[in-house]
Amino acid sequence: MHLRSLASFPGRISQTLSRSNSAGLLTAQSTHAQNIQTFTKKVKHAQLLTPSRSVNFRSTSLLSTSSHVKSRSQTEKKTTGVPASVTKFLECEDHLQLEYKGAKLKLNYVWLRDHCRTGDSINHLTQQRMVDSALIDPNIQPVNVAIDEGTLSITWPDGHQSEYDLEWLLSNTYEGKQHLQGTLEPLLWNLETLSASPSPSVSYQDYLTDDGQLSKLLHNLLKYGFAFVEEAPVTVEATLAVAERISQIRETFFGRFWCFTSDLERHDTAYTAEALGAHTDTTYLNEPAGVQVFHKMEHVGEGGDTLLVDGFHAAERLRQEDPEGFAILSSVSVPHHYLEPTIHTTGVGPVLELEPGPCKELKLIRYNMHDRACLDTVPMEDVSRWYSALRNLTRYIRDPASEYWVTLQPGRILLTYNWRVLHGRSAFTGRRRVAGCYLPRDDVISRARVLKVI
């Protein structure tokens, strides 16, 4: 992340950046649309001034390769003697081709200029881009390209030098990412795999004082989709302390902190004594809550056990056994809603939402039969297939082999990753009070990144 201290940028803070830089450095004095044309002309001029566009490899000899790519200046520049880790290196009309550690990278020149991490291209304090992406000449080409064991170096027409770590290119390109594994592989579980795994718990006191235990909790939360904090005081303050150790709380119209019992104070089945099937929460918000914190404060009566189901495990079964169903549930956005006399929210998104990019990992499951609103986002031709896919997914979710039942006791705080793990409860009798809150997913993930859990 190369965060540098403020002291190393004494002149930057109060400067308005010049637009004359040929990469189009960012400035806001953009009331003059003709700047774009001016900029383009400048770059073309710079290219004309370049006497000969040599390809300068730091390695010494050229390797003959074959390729079907379009030629640049009629002939492709081919190389040998590039580092052993680079098995192909080819300079084409609008991109470089680079085979590194088995990944076939195609590096578009505009993309390369836009992603330069050197000089004035980026503010090293804020890590914010200084290049104005929209002002990069669409026909930009390097005047010089060099590669050594770890680094790709490019000289641009205006003389700007860029360097790219090859490992960085692997981690930050669509093609490179196909070859990478996450640092924390989630364990998709059913009852059987979960029984073979250690109980994901930390103790309250350790967790509050020891960053290692906080990391362990976040690891559990992201590996299993849930985690426990044990031996906590049975108070609202302790429950909040567990939450706020991770991040600020995500306030909703339920407040920062909620406490539900079967009084139907709110217009939601959670506020009844009914059984609740496995579901995810707050599907009626555009972005469902990331983490839910539950603390059963008291229960004098029977029942009310907590059900957990790994939604990603069920979704992956669907991907294997009904690929067409997986495709429709992951591409069609559907609405959910929440209605009270003074509240009417609508959340819209696919039941199974995927991360963008090459790997198509699951990002989020929205699953709530109660709160799903009218299916008005799919042409009627597709409605039947959508319901068929929902039936299959539901079959996997309700498979008894998927269901992990827990009896929560006061003092044992449960955190669920609501984007992945569904929760429910059995019906109950008597007085039962459960308190908790939501955390924003962005901030939970941020905390895990900063602590190097992921």
Judged by CB, which is closer to a second copy: 132, or 158?
A: 132
* Least spacing, CB of residue 217 vs a second copy, in Å: 17
- As a whole number of angstroms, the distance between CA 242 and CA 205 comes to 10
CA atoms within 13 Å, Cβ hemisphere of 267? 11
Q: Where are the alpha helices (DSSP H) in 105-190?
A: 109-114, 166-171, 174-177
- Taken in order 340, 343, 344, 346, the sign of the CA dihedral is negative
* Least spacing, CB of residue 225 vs a second copy, in Å: 17
Closest C-alpha among 444, 396, 423, 402 to residue 306: 423
* Least spacing, CB of residue 51 vs a second copy, in Å: 28
Q: Under a CB-based contact definition with an 8 Å cutoff, are residues 269 and 414 in contact?
A: no
Judged by CB, which is closer to a second copy: 137, or 158?
A: 137
Judged by CB, which is closer to a second copy: 410, or 424?
A: 424
* Least spacing, CB of residue 21 vs a second copy, in Å: 14
> Residue 435 contacts by C-beta under 8 Å, 6 or more apart in sequence?
236, 239, 257, 258, 259, 294, 295, 297
Judged by CB, which is closer to a second copy: 300, or 374?
A: 374
Closest C-alpha among 171, 192, 112, 187 to residue 144: 112
* Least spacing, CB of residue 47 vs a second copy, in Å: 18
Judged by CB, which is closer to a second copy: 95, or 232?
A: 95
Q: Quick one: tokens of 49?
A: 């001034």
Judged by CB, which is closer to a second copy: 36, or 62?
A: 36
CB atoms near residue 310 (< 10 Å): 29
* Least spacing, CB of residue 405 vs a second copy, in Å: 8
